[in-house]
Amino acid sequence: MAVISRGFEGRRTPPDPRIPPGQYLTEDFPVLSAGPTPQIETSDWALDITDVDGSRTALSWHQLMDLPSEQFTVDIHCVTKWTKLGTVWRGVPVETLLGGTQSDAEYALIHSYGGYTTNLPIDDLVLGDAWVVFEYDGAALAPTHGGPARLLVPHLYLWKSAKWINGIELRRHDQPGFWESLGYHAYGDPWREQRYEGD
Amino acid sequence: MEQSHEFAVDGNAVAGPLSEIFAFDVTSVQVNCNHCGATNPFAEEIAYVGGPGTVLRCADCASVVGRFVKTPDSVWLDLSGSASWRIGTSQ
Amino acid sequence: MKATDDAQHRGPATIPWLRAELLEGRMETRTARSLVFDVPGWAGHHAGQHVDVKLTSEDGYSAQRSYSIASASASGQLELTVQVVSHGELSPYLVEVMSPGDELELRGPIGGWFRWTEEFTEPVLLVGGGSGIVPLMAILRERIRTGSTAPVHFICVARTPDHVFYTNELHSVDQSHADVLVDRLYTRSGLADDARAAGRLNLHDLPPPSSGDTGITRAYVCGPTGFVESAADLLLGRGHPPTAIRTERFGPTGG
């Protein structure tokens, strides 16, 4: 039986329909990473999009900036249990980025500078709730939070929102990414608390 | 590409959780990196903790030498980034 | 590879959680506190090692963090020194709430690499930044407790004199032990009569490798990650061999 520490309250969060099960509210923005912060100049930045037929296009920063972007506000949920409400971003919807591809892809594997990967079903990228973002809270996205650009998919746990995105690999078959291959859930819906494989 | 490890700790910080699955003290293990061939004590390797799992990186080249995840019913290990671990048997 | 966390497969070496009761707390600075715990079943430790501390609330929420042991080895008792970290999980409770009689759980000692015992007789160099001086203080206290004659040079780096832990004890040890030298270096602002201008640790602050018989100084460096990396680089630049340097990084806040 655990020893109770008198007066220790932990991170008690009042019930709130905006907070998924098992999460607590945070006011700060924790920086969690699997590796060192890459320092990428926008002049060197490129986003490689590869399709199931092997075709490849590379988007430069200049080209990204030329695409229509939008400012939007969303809640974000990390599998380590913190939730941050009302975060403001600016980015390009992924469906706009992928507009040029003719594809029978069912899945995508996202690649980042530094080697991180994560996988998603294609619908979760193209049906409106996913962006490649480059501004947070009205300013250029800081490297520690994934800048110059990161993926943002707020309806899934934040490990799917790959920082330092540099590639979208469209695939017919699902390929587990960095955490999905080591015990984490393939999909990661915070509202069904899909943290681990088998949840 | 410059590397900044300011948010990292080191292998010392991972020793407690790993004591639940290893019968030896991990901090003195000599880890040989699969990528660059350097050998460093586990304690001196760079560790990224606090996220979904722990990532241990070679102190010389920053390649991943180990990954650890603790779920409610399991511990997952990926040591494919380590060419070898040398575990001292006389303490 | 997947190992199941099944009690049958857990070896005898698994470190058990022990109940610890706070005996006494005393503030080292405005935001750091030393806590002395009574820990039945604690068999002692090597200086430099740490413990995992676990707090559990009444509704079952629990959180865990590692803290370096500050005291010399003793059975049944140990001391931690905790720095408050903003938005910290445990440190606000440990520094601002926990009172004598309150309990927590801890397990250890952990870490066989970053440790000092009296069997190491060569000169010791301790370089600590901020709360990194905690395990190094354990080394100094253990050196004194055991009557070891290993020369110790202890370099404490802090923002201002108000940020240094164990001030009185460090002063008294420095005065009363011929082979112990304590340097307090300030990065932001120091004392009026300081010979050294306040600033980051630099090459001139560090001694060369020992010129004694062994020629090797055993160096321990601890503190925030950035501090440890730059201090270790400076030591290498000063001629200390890499094999003589042991490091422990506390992360960005160093708490």
Domain ranges of chain A: 21-27+58-192
Instruction: Find tokens 């560090």 and name the residue.
Output: C206
Give contacts of A34 with chain B, Cβ < 8 Å: 48, 51, 55
Model-level pTM? 0.91
Structure tokens at C169: 């004890």
Residue B2: predicted pLDDT: 40
Q: How far apart are CA C92 and CA C88, in angstroms?
A: 6
Instruction: Give residue A104's pLDDT.
Output: 87
Question: Containing domain of residue B52, as a range?
Answer: 9-86
pLDDT at C211 over 70: no
Instruction: Decide if B69 is inside a domain.
Output: yes
Whether residue A94 contacts residue A132, with contact meaning beta carbons closer than 8 Å, is answered with yes
The answer to whether C172 and C204 are in contact (CB under 8 A) is no
Residue B19 lies in a domain: yes
Q: Is the CB of residue C60 less than 8 Å away from at least one CB of chain A? A: yes
In this prediction, residues A89-95 reach a mean pLDDT of 97
Residue C43, sorted as left (phi over 0), alpha (psi -120 to 50) or beta, turns out to be alpha
Rounded mean pLDDT, A135-150: 97
C193 pLDDT higher than 60: yes
- pLDDT at residue C151 tops 80: yes
User: Which of A24-33, B34-43, C3-12 is predicted most confidently?
Assistant: B34-43
**Mean pLDDT along residues C188-214:** 87
Looking up tokens 């098992």, which residue turns up? A22
The answer to whether residue B52 scores a pLDDT higher than 80 is: yes
What is the pLDDT confidence band of residue A101, given thresholds at 50, 70 and 90?
Answer: low
Task: Residue window 5-34, chain B: list those with CB within 8 Å of chain A.
Answer: 5-8
Other C-beta atoms closer than 10 Å to the C-beta of C96 total 11
pLDDT of residue A7: 95
Non-local (6+) Cβ contacts of C100 within 8 A are: C22, C23, C24, C25
Average pLDDT of the segment spanning C42-54: 97
d(CA C86, CA C253): 9
| Residue-wise pLDDT tens digits, A75-85 | 999 999 999 99
Token code pair at residue B82: 């380590």
pLDDT at C72: 98
pLDDT score, position A10? 80
B15 interfaces chain C, CB cutoff of 8 Å: yes
Homologous superfamily in CATH for domain A21-27+58-192: Oxidoreductase, molybdopterin-binding domain (3.90.420.10)
What's the number of domains chain B is made of?
1
pLDDT score of C9? 41
If phi over 0 gives left and psi between -120 and 50 gives alpha, with beta otherwise, what is residue C223? left
Mean pLDDT of B48-67: 96
Residue A100 pLDDT > 90: no
- φ, ψ for residue C56, nearest 5 deg: -125, 130
**Residue B32 within a domain:** yes
pLDDT tens per residue across span A40-74? 999 999 999 999 999 999 999 999 999 999 999 99
Q: What are phi and psi of B54, to 5 degrees?
A: -105, 135
Judged by DSSP in three states, B85 sits in: strand
| Domains of chain C as residue ranges with CATH | 5-110 (2.40.30.10), 124-250 (3.40.50.80)
Q: Is C57 on the interface with A (CB under 8 A)?
A: yes
